[in-house]
Structure 1
Amino acid sequence: MPGPLVWIDCEMTGLNHQTDNIIEICCLLTDAKLDLIERNGFERVIHVPKEKLDGMDEWCQTTHSKTGLIQKVLDSTNTAPQVESELLDYLKKHMSQREGILAGNSVHVDRLFLLREFPKVTDFLHYRLIDVSSIKEIGYRHNPMLMEKVPKKSLNHSARSDILESIQELKWYYDNYLTR
């Protein structure tokens, strides 16, 4: 039986994995049928200094202000090493090392941040990943008419809502594209 899918989404201070930071992370686990293994999952907001938030680009400033994430980051006392340890403990409760496969939309970007900030988590997970965005891009090139029917995203840009939408999107691909 295949191991669980480890859905991770991060909100960051920007997209430069060498200088920007994870400020929110959510992890949900599903089985091969994409059913949630554990409903609550793992969610944390990570504190970074106000100066780091002030240096974010306009898109991040606008989006993270609108969602309330900037204030949550300022109020948070969680550090990245602390959150890494807590996430690793959460994963160990549900799977063995190298059993879980990282999944998400453009999850390769999240993985770049995890490699720098949460290396113990990336070491624990399998080296493979499932990037839902790759399936979408193949679909647009292979069957563009079908892809017009893909459910639209809400674009809330919270880590949890992004993961739940990614799971629903992959379910849609299972039912409408990958089963043909």
Structure 2
Amino acid sequence: MKRWVPKGVSPICGNSIAQDKRFLYQYMPDLADYFHYRHLDVSTLKELAARWKPEILEGFKKANTHLALDDIRESIKELAYYRDHFIQLD
């Protein structure tokens, strides 16, 4: 990661990342310590959308392959979807 981002800058990101964080601290503590202390959990946006604007949930469907790289790409796409349809920055 040093090649792309300095230590302590990038939050850990993904969907329901609590288990990911536990895994990293258990088996990859140096990597876990490399991340910023804050995190970005896409599932938080999903939960807020479900409560405040549930109709947008139908617009994003996951493939659910549960392969690591697929999950990463899917989480990025899902975050972008919520940015465009829920947060609406424009």
Question: What range describes the TM-score normalised by the shorter chain of this pair?
Answer: over 0.9
- Structure 2 residue aligned with 1:104: 14
Gaps (5+ residues) in structure 1?
Answer: 1-90
In 2: Cα distance, 1:138 partner to 1:108 partner: 18
Matched position secondary structure for 2:43: helix
Determine what percentage of the aligned residue pairs are the same residue: 37
The structure whose residues are more often helix, as a share, is 2
Question: Whose relative contact order is higher, 1 or 2, with alpha carbons under 8 Å and at least 6 apart?
Answer: 2
- Structure 1 residue aligned with 2:42: 132
Gaps (5+ residues) in structure 2?
Answer: none
Which residue identity lines up with residue 170 of structure 1 in the other structure?
L
Which residue identity lines up with residue 141 of structure 1 in the other structure?
R
Which residue identity lines up with residue 21 of structure 2 in the other structure?
R
Match of 1:155 among 46, 64, 69: 64
Matched position secondary structure for 1:177: helix
- Which structure has the greater CA radius of gyration? 1
In 2: Cα distance, 1:93 partner to 1:141 partner: 39
Give the CA deviation at 1:144. Answer: 1.1
In 2: Cα distance, 1:153 partner to 1:129 partner: 22
- Structure 2 residue aligned with 1:164: 73
Question: RMSD value over aligned CA atoms?
Answer: 1.1
In 2: Cα distance, 1:143 partner to 1:170 partner: 15
* TM-score, scaled relative to structure 1: 0.48
* TM-score, scaled relative to structure 2: 0.92
In 1: Cα distance, 2:44 partner to 2:79 partner: 11
In 2: Cα distance, 1:105 partner to 1:95 partner: 21
